[in-house]
Amino acid sequence: MTESLRILAFGAHPDDLETYVGAALLCMARLGCSMTFVLATDGEAGTLQPSEGTRVDEQLASLEWFQRQTGTLPAFHRLCFVDASLSTCTDLRDACKAMIRMHEPHLVIAPSEDDAHQDHRALACALSADVGVHVRWLDAEAASATHALVMDEATHCEKRTWMRHHLSQFPAPDGSRAHLPSGRDIEERILERDAACGTRLGHDFAEPIEVCARLPNALADLWSTL
């Protein structure tokens, strides 16, 4: 049944999807879903930049890893908007709608309109109710979570391995952390978020999400209610 399901997942920056819903994406690919990832920006105004190549190069390497793990290489689209400027991009909504028309997905995954990051919020607003978002991924606060995908430690470790393909976002052991939110890198922040959600559910870890529309029956049992 899941083999016919088309999943379209939107991220504002390289590493967004891995960080916030990485375990869910791995799970859906292994269930046989057809995966498409859409990247709104190149991330070049991000926290750190690679010493070699670009953050998009890191994204492509992460997709190759995803394929090795799941046997599925997601279709990948870059909308090529300037990082840190999505809130002023007048063409963002039309670009998102074009992705919807092209792929006719059964399930759309997007950021939350309440996210702390302005690019995440702008992408969420471009993918508003008239586009038909089913699942919104949540930032560290996860205050609006309605569901969660529970994980054991081994599964969360696999998710973190995927995240670490974005190596530029992890400071060197002796590097400065002054530029990081509260001095913590992305792995540390998401580890705290997923562990807190897991504790509430009596599990090791869990990815909190907000379900905004009826899920396809084949995926309705993937998440347990918070």
CATH number at residue 69: 3.40.50.10320
Flag the least confident range among 5-9, 44-48, 157-161.
44-48
Q: HEC profile for 115-153?
A: CCCHHHHHHHHHCCHHHCCCEEECCCCCCCCCEEEEECH
Closest among 74, 206, 96, 106 to 146, alpha carbons compared: 206
Band (pLDDT 50/70/90 cuts) for residue 176 is: confident
pLDDT of residue 187: 92
The dihedral sign for the CA sequence 184, 188, 194, 199: negative
Give the tens place of pLDDT for each residue, 152-162. 999 999 999 99
* Structural domain containing residue 39: 2-225
- 17-21, 50-54, 112-116, 135-139 — which is least confidently predicted? 50-54
pLDDT for residue 58 is more than 60: yes
pLDDT in tens, 123-161: 999 998 677 899 999 998 888 999 999 999 999 999 999
Rounded CA gap, 193 and 86, in Å? 25
User: Domain count of the chain?
Assistant: 1
